Structure 1
Amino acid sequence: MRLTIVYGTEHKGATYHIAQEVISSFKGAEIEEIFLPRDLPEYCSACLRCFCEEKGSCSHKHYTEPLRAKLLAADILILTSPVYAYHMSGQMKVFLDHFANMWMVHRPEKAMFLKQAIVIAAASGPVYAKTLNGIKDSLDFWGVAKTYKIGVALMESEWQRVSPKVKARVSRRIQKVIAQVKKRQGKVKPCWRVKKWFYISRFMQKKIKANPPDVLYWEEQGWTGKVRPWKNN
């Protein structure tokens, strides 16, 4: 099993420690770690090359293409972010911006439809929902079949000061998610939201045809016909 984990900050705080507990539950897994902003220090420049040209034409492709390869090689994706001003970290937003061309309405990767993902967000209070949902949006629109959320209200800013009771609650939540991931591994099917956006996007490529490179990509994949990315066609 291969895991790719994306850390929304280089600070090894509470969110990092929770992620380590998640990783430790996958014994023997191959793990690729991406730290932000270290591994992607550039802002998206809105050049639109990734939409209008080939997927690898990003002006920051010397950063993005190795990261894309790690995302595609993984069986399970883990994306983490502490809560910054009620939302994900700026570094995580920059990361997701660079891969917007993998969104369903553009050129999603077939491999994504067979993956599972876990999103982790920790806050000092119960304000993690927007962070979790913001990251999950990108995963859903990438086509990731099933995404689980682990949101934690620590009531402390430092992991070392978090009470044993809260840490035990975090561990129970982690183990519940891990059990579901392992149960579905190798036989996961896209959730309703992913399928819904696939068929909406399919209609757009067949009828509206707003962006010719996207239309051509969908036709080449056979998705405007009877082929589906989550099936052995």
Structure 2
Amino acid sequence: MKICILYGSPRKKNTYAAVQQIKERLRLHEEVEFVEYILQKEPHDFCCGCYTCINGAEEKCPHAAHVQPVIQAMRGADGLIFATPVYVMDMTAQMKAFLDHTGYFYMVHRPYPEMFQKSALVVSTAAGAGTKDANASVVRSLKHWGVRRIYSCGISIFAPGWDAIPASRKRKIEKRLDCVTDAFWRSLGAKKRPTMHTRLLFFAMKQMQKRKKGTGADATYWKQQGWLDGKKPF
């Protein structure tokens, strides 16, 4: 089993601690290989809106050398984990900068077939509020990628740091993390169809491609996949 983890901050504090517990919980179930990226340590430049990827040449993106290895690692993984602390009520700029480079494989353009077979877990931490919004921002992109099952967990610390959380509250946090991790693990490799939202979105995008409303690269891609002739990626 291979899991790709993306951290939205280089700080090994609360969010990092939560992910370490998730990793240990997954290891209780089976042997797992983790491929991890700390996004700020990778030079993910901001998307410049050049449309190179949208027009079918993602390998020529000005930042392809930095972004494509992460994307290919995600494609090759069985499951995905996105971890971000909350900065001003949302995900970090590092996480957003990376997601901005993934628009070309949104379902409206050229979704990767393997994304329809994956599960993802989104985890965020905050001193107080904001985890709901941060998780929702990441989940929105994953839905447009076609990810089959998406789980999320937001943790409000209400303490100076992970080690300062009162014991009773920490037990509750750990129980929540264990429960969502177990659900995430059970979904990995399971023969389940994507959610109704994903299936409806795929159908709507197929109709759009049939009406030739996308780019030429998109139309060619959908035709090559056989999706315009009744084949489905799930």
TM over 0.5: yes
For residue 65 of structure 1, give the secondary structure of its aligned residue in structure 2: helix
Q: Quick check: 1:121–1:150 contact (8 Å CA) kept in 2?
A: yes
8 Å Cα contact 1:123-1:157 kept in structure 2: no
1:84-103 alignment to 2 at 5 Å?
84-103=87-106
Confirm or deny: 8 A CA contact 2:15 2:84 kept in the other structure. yes
- Name the SS of the counterpart of 2:80 in structure 1: strand
Provide structure 1 residue ranges, at least 5 long, that are not aligned to the other structure. none
- Contact 1:154–1:162 under 8 Å retained in 2: yes
Quick one: percent identity of the two aligned structures?
30
Distance apart, 1:68 and its partner CA: 1.3
Distance 1:175 1:5 in 2: 17
> Could you say if the C-alpha distance between residues 168 and 224 of structure 1 is closer, same or farther in structure 2, counting changes exceeding 3 Å?
same
Instruction: Indicate the residue corresponding to 1:12 in structure 2.
Output: 12
Distance 1:176 1:21 in 2: 12
Q: CA deviation at 1:208?
A: 4.2
**CA root-mean-square deviation:** 1.3
Code of the aligned partner of 2:199: K
Question: Which structure 2 segments of 5+ residues have no match?
Answer: none
Q: CA deviation at 1:19?
A: 0.7
Q: Is the 8 A contact 2:106 2:145 kept in 1?
A: yes
Normalising to structure 2: TM-score of the pair? 0.94
Match of 1:33 in 2: 36
Aligned pair partner of 2:155 in 152, 156, 172:
152
Give TM-score, length-normalised by structure 1: 0.94
SS of 1:224's equivalent in the other structure is helix
Deviation at residue 46 of structure 1 after TM alignment? 1.1
For residue 198 of structure 1, the aligned residue among 196, 199, 202 is 202
Task: Give the counterpart letter for 1:119 in structure 2.
Answer: V
3-state SS in 2 of match to 1:3: strand
Separation (CA, whole Å) in 1 of partners of 2:155 and 2:179: 14
The answer for the alignment partner of 2:111 in structure 1 is 108
Greater shift in the superposed pair: 88-97 or 188-197: 188-197
- Is the 2:117–2:147 Cα contact (8 Å) retained in structure 1? yes
- Map of 1:186 onto structure 2: 189
1:114-167 deviation digits (Å, cap 9, x = unpaired)? 000000011111321110000001111111100000111111242221122222
Confirm or deny: 8 A CA contact 2:109 2:214 kept in the other structure.
no
Question: Aligned residue for 1:42?
Answer: 45
Describe how 1:51-90 pairs up with structure 2 within 5 A: 51-90=54-93
Q: Give the Å deviation of 1:56.
A: 1.9
> What residue is the counterpart of 1:172 in the other structure?
175
Give me the whole-angstrom Cα distance separating, in 1, the residues matched to 2:141 and 2:111: 11
Q: Is 1:222 the counterpart of 2:202 in the alignment? A: no
Moved more, 198-207 or 75-84: 198-207
Contact 2:89 2:129 in 1 (8 A): no
Distance across 1 between alignment mates of 2:202 and 2:167: 43
Residue 220 of structure 1 and its aligned partner are, at CA, apart by 0.7
Instruction: For residues 28-63 of structure 1, give each alpha carbon's deviation from its aligned partner in whole angstroms, at most 9, with x where no partner exists.
Output: 201100101112331111111000132322111111
Give how far 1:184 is off.
2.4
CA distance in 2, matches of 1:108, 1:41: 21
| 1:209 matched to 2:216 | no
* Structure 1, 195-204 or 7-16: larger mean CA deviation: 195-204
Pairs aligned (count): 230
